[in-house]
């Protein structure tokens, strides 16, 4: 089960990968706080909003419990906090986070975590015809900052 935060959802939708991810992972969860963040974007024809609107039948939108004090102390955004709280409440769920502070918190909580690039790499493993280089360029073009050094490491 993948539990998406707003940034990976927005970047993945802009890159056109959300349907591919649904084909690989059957259980995508998006906390209501994340849905609210994405829907608050005031862009016409935003791919993430379009994807959310069209896929309500294949994606679970969930309410989350109030955050435990340990999560509150990290002072993350509402979306990141709700993703991590859901994962804490559902052992085995994997948080999809790109924000470094949120990823560090996930590690401190013992929550499995991946990011947009990790999903691209896993998609390439699942489908050998899917090019890692093309996938990485697509998420970069969609707005995810990736250093040239990181890209070189990923491609080697």
- 21 belongs to a structural domain: yes
Instruction: Please give the Cα distance from 156 to 150 (Å, whole number).
Output: 10
- 36 belongs to a structural domain: yes
Instruction: Please give the Cα distance from 82 to 124 (Å, whole number).
Output: 28
Q: Which of 15-24, 88-97, 112-121 has the lowest mean pLDDT?
A: 15-24
Tokens of 109: 């909580």
pLDDT at 156 over 90: no
Give the chain's domain count: 1
- 134 belongs to a structural domain: no
Instruction: Please give the Cα distance from 91 to 143 (Å, whole number).
Output: 31
Q: Does this model's pTM top 0.75?
A: yes
Q: What is the pLDDT of residues 71-89, one digit of tens each?
A: 999 999 999 999 999 999 9
Residue 76's domain is classified under what CATH number? Answer: 3.40.50.1010
For 36-46, b/e burial (b = at least 16 CB within 10 A) is ebbeeeeeeeb
Q: Which residue has the higher pLDDT, 93 or 55?
A: 93
Per-residue model confidence (pLDDT) at position 123: 92
> Residue for token digits 């994606």?
59
- 141 belongs to a structural domain: no
Q: What is the pLDDT of residues 125-152, one digit of tens each?
A: 998 898 999 999 999 999 999 999 988 8
Domain range for 53 is: 2-115
Length of the chain in terms of residues written: 156
């Amino acid at each position: 089960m993948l539990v998406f935060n707003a940034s990976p959802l927005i970047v993945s939708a802009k890159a056109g990968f959300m349907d591919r991810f649904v084909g690989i992972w059957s259980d995508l969860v998006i906390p209501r706080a994340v849905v609210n963040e994405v829907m608050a974007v005031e862009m016409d024809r935003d791919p993430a909003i379009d994807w959310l609107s069209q896929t309500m039948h294949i994606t679970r939108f969930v309410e989350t419990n109030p955050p435990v004090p340990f999560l509150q102390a990290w002072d993350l955004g509402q979306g990141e906090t709700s993703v991590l709280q859901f994962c804490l409440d559902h052992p085995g769920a994997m948080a999809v986070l790109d924000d470094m502070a949120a990823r560090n918190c996930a590690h401190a909580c013992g929550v499995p975590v991946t990011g947009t690039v990790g999903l691209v790499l896993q998609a390439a493993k699942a489908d050998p015809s899917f090019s890692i280089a093309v996938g990485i360029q697509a998420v970069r073009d969609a707005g995810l900052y990736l250093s040239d050094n990181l890209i070189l490491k990923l491609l080697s």
